[in-house]
Amino acid sequence: DTAVSQTPKYLVTQMGNDKSIKCEQNLGHDTMYWYKQDSKKFLKIMFSYNNKELIINETVPNRFSPKSPDKAHLNLHINSLELGDSAVYFCASSQTDTYQPQHFGDGTRLSIL
């Protein structure tokens, strides 16, 4: 029973392409997140959605667009991929108004050729 699942696990593509990463959680949480982890392991929040509403939108290029069809899903679409987009992208979820930690997916390793 995977709590937070992301697909695909690996994504290798060329510069300029458009790609999507999907995330689903079965924990019943009301908030989902996207994080970017660079090659130095630094983890930075990109977006946060609470009950399908965008709460956090950090300084992220407009090429990145999150979509939340329902509170169990948060997808990330990336247009016109650039070399600097190469990273591991993690999806996470949590329940607001609790002190429980965020639960992370296994990550999607994106490599731009």
Partner 1 sequence: ELKVEQNPLFLSMQEGKNYTIYCNYSTTSDRLYWYRQDPGKSLESLFVLLSNGAVKQEGRLMASLDTKARLSTLHITAAVHDLSATYFCAVPLYNNNDMRFGAGTRLTVKP
Give the contact letters, 21-40, x = binds to partner 1 (CB under 8 A), - = no: ----------x-x------x
- Measured between alpha carbons, how far apart are the two ends of the chain, in Å? 34
Are 73 and 90 in contact by the 8 Å Cβ rule? The answer is no
Per-residue tokens: 73:
């899903």
Q: Does 95 bind partner 1 (CB under 8 A)?
A: yes
Q: Which of residues 55-74 bind partner 1 (CB under 8 A)?
A: 55-56
Alpha-carbon torsion, ordered 22, 27, 32, 36, to 10 deg: -60
x/- binding map, residues 73-92, to partner 1, per CB under 8 A? -----------------x-x
Task: Tell me which residues touch partner 1 (CB under 8 A).
Answer: 31, 33, 40-45, 48, 50, 55-56, 90, 92, 94-107
